[in-house]
Amino acid sequence: MTTRQSDIGDNTAKASGGGTAQGGGIFHATGSTTLNDSTVTGNRAGDGGGIFKASGTVTLNNTVVKRNKPNNCAPPNSVPGCTC
């Protein structure tokens, strides 16, 4: 997936069956995702409110990831340039 000038915001991921919801804004399972000149804000999930990366590569180019709950990116340090 590649985005340009996109706003990914105010989404909520909910888990069914008692699991933990992941990736309120983006759930990245595999492959590569590049966000260009975009924002990921105000999203919610049990983990990875903004971006949850299971595997693969997520690249942020002039992209802001902030004000997501409970964290911006998960697992910690999985997305270069994203602060938890």
Tens-binned pLDDT, residue by residue, of the chain (84 aa): 999 999 999 999 999 888 899 999 999 999 999 999 999 999 999 999 999 999 999 999 999 999 999 999 999 999 999 987
79 domain-assigned: no
Q: How far is CA 48 from the centre of its chain?
A: 6
Element housing 10 (H / E): none
82 domain-assigned: no
Note the pLDDT of residue 83.
84
Q: Are 64 and 50 in contact (CB under 8 A)?
A: no
Note the pLDDT of residue 63.
97
Separation CA 65–CA 30 (nearest Å): 20
Q: How many domains does the chain have?
A: 1
Domain interval for residue 39: 2-13+21-74
The pTM assigned to this predicted structure is 0.94
Separation CA 71–CA 63 (nearest Å): 16
27 domain-assigned: yes
54 domain-assigned: yes
83 domain-assigned: no
